Amino acid sequence: MKIRTQDLALIALFIALCTVSTMLIRIPLPTSGYANLGDAIVLLAGWILGPIYGALAAGLGTALADLIGYPIYAPATFIIKFAVAFFAAKLISRYESLSFIHLCVIGLMCELIMLVGYYIYDAILLGNILSPALNLPGNIMQAVIGTLVAAFLYRHLSRFIKK
């Protein structure tokens, strides 16, 4: 598979956007970690770049942010955000055009991967299955806000995107 220069530039751009948006606004969570706006760019990467390039950009960009701030989460973040962007791209590719509500539904469905993924990872790190529940409200807030922002941006950027 040959990668175009334009695709490589967009992947690099989305890696940087994922890193910066994850690190820019950090809302500390009660037990560990933080909520951020990175999920908006994760979904957008999948929707704009497609399942492979978008997932790679989302996984690498958010894992890089974790390497800088919370390195123990970097491996899980790569896998989780890769999966979120991958499935976001796969779900959106089935439709010619989508309303804001449809984008939000798809985004929230994909964000369930983030909620479950971090819950399981935190349960393993903490050694029990109850403590990760403390992070659920923050992660849910991050999922909802990220989805709303991504849907808004995609609706406004999609007219400029060549698929």
Residues 34-46 have pLDDT tens digits of 678 999 999 999 9
> pTM for the full model?
0.92
Which CATH number does the domain housing residue 133 bear?
A: 1.10.1760.20
Q: What is the pLDDT of residues 49-83, one digit of tens each?
A: 999 999 999 999 999 999 998 899 999 999 999 99
Percent pLDDT > 70 in the chain is 94
Q: Where are the alpha helices (DSSP H) in the chain?
A: 5-24, 38-49, 51-69, 74-92, 100-126, 136-157
Q: Phi and psi dihedrals of 28, rounded to 5?
A: -60, 140
Range of the domain at 155: 5-160
**Looking at residue 32, what is its pLDDT?**
61
User: Quick one: average pLDDT of 74-99?
Assistant: 94
d(CA 134, CA 67): 23
Residue 4 DSSP symbol = P
Q: What is the mean pLDDT of residues 115-129?
A: 96
Contact 61, 87 (CB under 8 A): no
Count of domains observed in the chain = 1
CA-nearest of 72, 63, 69 to 126 is 72
pLDDT at 115: 97
